[in-house]
Structure 1
């Protein structure tokens, strides 16, 4: 039987465990889950975290909110981020590769075909592609989205079975439960219009995304009939637990 293909999107909040630096423990946790599932699933990762990785090592003489400073930080942090992935994953017998994409790459058929062919070769040879936006030349995900949209477009391009967006909540919550201060997860969604009524436009603390950017990503995946899961990536073994229905998360079908 063919393996199911999962695209796993990891935001900055997940990778830092809501601190000011990349968590090696969280990356190891993710690697251990992939290793446990590799006989039945093939994984492609869309990872934020380059800027967070850079801030562990440098402080640039400018305002961090300036988009060009963020581009410079991403350039500095990307090799460090990949080194952390490589070190932790290789200890588990997993091989990694780096792919940097920008939105213009999705506009031309030849470029799209190149992406698909390259990633298919990597996956076939048991390499895990780790994708990030090419922040040195593009600013879309620095300004908004925290790679949510990039993950959805990539999921569609690669025809994955499940798009998993790891965030810092147990999925989407009902508006009523949020107003009461007792968050309650929306377990299943079929109509995105119903979902849009339930959420606000909150931003995440470390990343640039929020629930609105995730709805936009979900809409892209849903149009291509790709199932999307919004899961709390801060929890240990969150992928395994979601697959085994041991935690609450939002499934968009």
Structure 2
């Protein structure tokens, strides 16, 4: 049987476990789950975290604009981020590869074809593509979406079976429960417009997206007939628990 293809989007708060540095333990947790599931699923990863990785090593002297500093930090941090993935995944028998994309790549048919061909060859040869925005030339995700939109566009282009967005909550909470601190997860939903009414506008400490960008990502995926799950990546075994139906998370139907 053909393996199901999952696009896993990992935000900065998941990778840092809401601290000020990349968590090797979290990356190992992700790797162990992928290794456990590799006979039935193939994974493509869209990962944030380059800026967070850089902040562990450097403090830049600057007089420039804040966005340019973040671009420079991303350029410094991206190789460190990939090294941490490579080291942890290699110990589990998993091989990694890097793909840097920008939004303009999705607007040109030739670029789209190149992305698909490259990623399909990587996956066919058991290399896990780890995708991030090319922050040197593009600032969209730094400013707005923490790679949520990039993940959705990639999922749609590759026609994956599932878009799995890891964040720091048990999915999307109802607005009323969020206000009173009870945090009731919306488990299944089909109408994106219903979901938009429940989303609050807050953003997390390291990430730039918040839930609004995740709803926008799910909208892109839904138009491509792809289901989106929003899961709590801070918890151990969050991928396998979601697939086995033993965690609270939000499923946005295709």
TM range (shorter): over 0.9
Q: Relative to structure 2, which stretch is displaced further, 150-159 or 58-67?
A: 58-67
Q: How does 1:24-43 map to 2 (within 5 A)?
A: 24-43=24-43
Residue 104 (str. 1) matches residue 94 (str. 2): no
Q: Is this contact kept in 2: 1:230–1:251, CA < 8 A? A: yes
What is the SS of the residue equivalent to 1:42?
Answer: strand
Residue 249 (str. 1) matches residue 249 (str. 2): yes
What is the SS of the residue equivalent to 1:100?
Answer: strand
Counterpart in the other structure of 2:94: 94
Q: Note the residue ranges of structure 2 that are not aligned, 5 or more in a row.
A: none
Deviation of the 1:63 alpha carbon: 7.3
What is the SS of the residue equivalent to 1:205?
Answer: coil
How far, CA to CA, are the matches of 1:64 and 1:252 in structure 2? Answer: 41
How far, CA to CA, are the matches of 1:190 and 1:77 in structure 2? Answer: 38
How far, CA to CA, are the matches of 2:202 and 2:220 in structure 1? Answer: 20
User: What do the CA deviations read for 1:181-229 (whole angstroms, capped 9, x no partner)?
Assistant: 1000000010011111111111111011100111110100000110000
Counterpart in the other structure of 2:214: 214
Q: How does 1:224-239 map to 2 (within 5 A)?
A: 224-239=224-239
Q: Is this contact kept in 2: 1:6–1:162, CA < 8 A? A: yes
Q: How does 1:34-183 map to 2 (within 5 A)?
A: 34-62=34-62, 66-183=66-183
- With normalisation by structure 2, the TM-score equals 0.98
Q: Is this contact kept in 2: 1:64–1:70, CA < 8 A? A: no
Q: Relative to structure 2, which stretch is displaced further, 56-65 or 227-236?
A: 56-65
What is the SS of the residue equivalent to 2:145?
Answer: coil
What is the SS of the residue equivalent to 2:42?
Answer: strand
How far, CA to CA, are the matches of 1:158 and 1:65 in structure 2? Answer: 35
How far, CA to CA, are the matches of 2:210 and 2:141 in structure 1? Answer: 12
Structure 1 residues 97 and 2, CA gap change in structure 2 (3 angstroms): same
How far, CA to CA, are the matches of 1:151 and 1:246 in structure 2? Answer: 25
Counterpart in the other structure of 2:10: 10
Q: Note the residue ranges of structure 1 that are not aligned, 5 or more in a row.
A: none
The Cα RMSD (Å) is 1.0
Q: How does 1:168-207 map to 2 (within 5 A)?
A: 168-207=168-207
User: What do the CA deviations read for 1:159-195 (whole angstroms, capped 9, x no partner)?
Assistant: 1000000000000000111121100000001001111
User: What do the CA deviations read for 1:100-131 (whole angstroms, capped 9, x no partner)?
Assistant: 00000001000000000000000000000000
User: What do the CA deviations read for 1:137-175 (whole angstroms, capped 9, x no partner)?
Assistant: 100000010000000000000110000000000000001
How far, CA to CA, are the matches of 1:239 and 1:111 in structure 2? Answer: 30
Q: Is this contact kept in 2: 1:63–1:69, CA < 8 A? A: no
The size of the alignment, in residue pairs, is: 253
